[in-house]
Chain A
Amino acid sequence: MTKNYNGDLYADFEREAVPHMDALFNFALRMTGDSDEANDLVQDTYMRAFRFFDKFEKGTNCKAWLFRIMKNTYINSYRKKTKEPERFDYEDVENYYENVKPSSTEDAHLEREIFDNLLDDQVASAISSLPEDFRTVVILADIEGFTYEEIAEFIDCPVGTVRSRLHRARKMLYAKLYDYAGSKGYVKN
């Protein structure tokens, strides 16, 4: 499909949308877990964004608008191809959680050191294994550094839901990473 080139539209798009490409790629990479898929997702997102750029309201949050397009593109075209994460039973996480509480401040410090010694891939893998809604908020909050309000706008839900999902997501990650540490013998399982 060819679209007639419009210099002004392109200039506006370049100014508003192109600076967010790094953040979108980072998000795409974490969501798909595959650099080829991330490339495709970012390209599709930008092509769609440009196609509908005349509908973008100038002065509003372009980054949030791009993230919404990416999220919809991901849901429509990419999610089915990505391996489904393993099921997380949150009740299990809560029970598990009760058994691993460090008994003292000293234990808590030691535990932090243990988590510091985990490999980047192990942490990335634990994030990938989270259910999509929870993975999304962890990526946006802890890797991309967005505020709750920004995340709420990106994923189109109330701020309270963002807080709740992030709270649970971190607990799930804690359980998962504690398991990893146990499998390496860093902590007693």
Chain B
Amino acid sequence: MMHDKDKHEYAELVTALVDNEINDSQLQAKIRTLSESDPDLKFEYHVQTTIKRTVKNKCRFAGCPSSLKNRIMLDLRTGKFPEETPASSKPVFSLRPWAYAAAVAVIFLTLFIFRVTDGEIDPKLEVLESKFSLDKMAMNNFKAILDSKLSCEIASSDSNTIKSFFHDKGLRYALRMVCPKGWEYVGAVVSQDNGEKFGHVVLKDAKGNLLYIFEVDQKYLTSEKKLNLDNEIMSTVMAGSCYTQDAESMGIVINKCGSNVRAVVSKEKSEKLKSLFCGLN
């Protein structure tokens, strides 16, 4: 006759048998025999196998969303780390940073531009329709990247990977993909406006400073008029010169590169950006 203590131990060994975790073949055979002959242990075996099977079948493995993977890779590559703040003491607007970022990204992808003020989208956006100013969009997008409100869809330091990404996403024009010495690619994102897709690239230097490039086919600014550019800036760019501006602690340079027009924004002074990009075609 089995003592309660033995029975309890054997019951746990039935669990190990179900999980194929008994290495001793003699013990394994003994527990198997008991689980077939002893009514209580037989029931233990039934319960353990039924639940193991049910959990395995009903709880599918949920892989990490690609947006989260890219986000983490981007943060690692750029050296951006959140403060060591307990989640419970984060400010209200960051309790759901992913929901927030996702909402902004959707707006970015559909309306193509965002103006974010304390977490609210500027309602005036709705009347702007699809004609946006290239330089203002570039600066807004860069600010959103710095504020972690916009993240790359793909994180990669390889230009060919980014080119393939743009191709796979259905971009109708090719970006020049220039990367000045001392900088490297961080990632890219594709936005969409009225069925037209646009490519955006993020770079970083050895110190982790970020730089944003918004490059479009010049026909979107001229013949198709999908985007706006101030007449003075347009004249400067079409004449083959670089337009530079410093505003809100950011520098921007706009120039022509092949058949594209490229806006580059960073925290650097525009003159520095000019020296980096205006000779690169």
- The smallest beta-carbon distance between A9 and chain B, in angstroms, is 10
A127 located at the interface, meaning its Cβ lies under 8 Å from any Cβ of chain B in the complex: yes
B52 located at the interface, meaning its Cβ lies under 8 Å from any Cβ of chain A in the complex: yes
With beta carbons under 8 angstroms apart, the residue of A5, A42, A81, A127 that contacts B208 is A5
Taking a contact as CB atoms under 8 Å apart, the answer to whether B12 and A3 are in contact is no
- The smallest beta-carbon distance between A113 and chain B, in angstroms, is 10
B11 located at the interface, meaning its Cβ lies under 8 Å from any Cβ of chain A in the complex: yes
With beta carbons under 8 angstroms apart, the residue of B11, B16, B21, B79 that contacts A3 is B79
Chain A, interface residues (CB within 8 Å), range = 35 or more
Q: How far is the CA of A39 from the CA of B96 in the complex (A)?
A: 9
Taking a contact as CB atoms under 8 Å apart, the answer to whether B87 and A123 are in contact is no
Interface residues of A in 69-113 (CB under 8 A from B): 76-78, 80-81, 97, 101-102, 108, 111-112
A142 located at the interface, meaning its Cβ lies under 8 Å from any Cβ of chain B in the complex: yes
Taking a contact as CB atoms under 8 Å apart, the answer to whether B46 and A44 are in contact is no
Stretch at the interface among B64-72, B222-230, B268-276: B64-72
A174 located at the interface, meaning its Cβ lies under 8 Å from any Cβ of chain B in the complex: yes
Q: How far is the CA of A177 from the CA of B50 in the complex (A)?
A: 11
Taking a contact as CB atoms under 8 Å apart, the answer to whether B88 and A80 are in contact is yes
B82 located at the interface, meaning its Cβ lies under 8 Å from any Cβ of chain A in the complex: yes
- Residues in A with CB closer than 8 Å to B71 are 43
Number of interface residues of B (CB under 8 A): 53
- Residues in B with CB closer than 8 Å to A177 are 51, 54
Contact indicator per residue, chain B 38-53, by CB within 8 Å of chain A (1) or not (0) = 0100010011101111
A120 located at the interface, meaning its Cβ lies under 8 Å from any Cβ of chain B in the complex: yes
With beta carbons under 8 angstroms apart, the residue of B48, B52, B69, B206 that contacts A5 is B206
Q: How far is the CA of A142 from the CA of B57 in the complex (A)?
A: 10
Taking a contact as CB atoms under 8 Å apart, the answer to whether B87 and A81 are in contact is yes
- Residues in B with CB closer than 8 Å to A40 are 87, 97-98
With beta carbons under 8 angstroms apart, the residue of B21, B63, B81, B98 that contacts A148 is B21
Q: How far is the CA of A118 from the CA of B51 in the complex (A)?
A: 12
B124 located at the interface, meaning its Cβ lies under 8 Å from any Cβ of chain A in the complex: no
- The smallest beta-carbon distance between B256 and chain A, in angstroms, is 32
- Residues in A with CB closer than 8 Å to B98 are 36, 39-40
Taking a contact as CB atoms under 8 Å apart, the answer to whether A142 and B21 are in contact is no
A187 located at the interface, meaning its Cβ lies under 8 Å from any Cβ of chain B in the complex: no
B77 located at the interface, meaning its Cβ lies under 8 Å from any Cβ of chain A in the complex: yes
- Residues in B with CB closer than 8 Å to A141 are 19
B279 located at the interface, meaning its Cβ lies under 8 Å from any Cβ of chain A in the complex: no
A157 located at the interface, meaning its Cβ lies under 8 Å from any Cβ of chain B in the complex: no
- The smallest beta-carbon distance between A154 and chain B, in angstroms, is 15
- Residues in A with CB closer than 8 Å to B86 are 76-77
- Residues in A with CB closer than 8 Å to B21 are 147-148, 163
Taking a contact as CB atoms under 8 Å apart, the answer to whether A42 and B72 are in contact is yes
- Residues in B with CB closer than 8 Å to A22 are 61, 63-64
Q: How far is the CA of A112 from the CA of B60 in the complex (A)?
A: 19
A148 (CB) vs chain B CBs: closest residue? B21
Q: How far is the CA of A3 from the CA of B53 in the complex (A)?
A: 46
Taking a contact as CB atoms under 8 Å apart, the answer to whether A116 and B54 are in contact is yes
B83 located at the interface, meaning its Cβ lies under 8 Å from any Cβ of chain A in the complex: yes
- Residues in B with CB closer than 8 Å to A31 are none
Max count, chain B CB within 10 A of own CB: residue among A4, A18, A39: A39
Taking a contact as CB atoms under 8 Å apart, the answer to whether A1 and B59 are in contact is no
Q: Apart from A3-B79, A26-B64, list 7 A-B contacts with CB within 8 A.
A: A111-B46, A112-B50, A118-B54, A123-B54, A163-B16, A166-B15, A170-B48
Would you list 11 pairs from A and B whose C-beta atoms are within 8 A, ordered by A residue? Answer: A10-B76, A18-B69, A36-B98, A46-B72, A47-B82, A50-B81, A116-B57, A124-B58, A163-B12, A170-B15, A173-B54
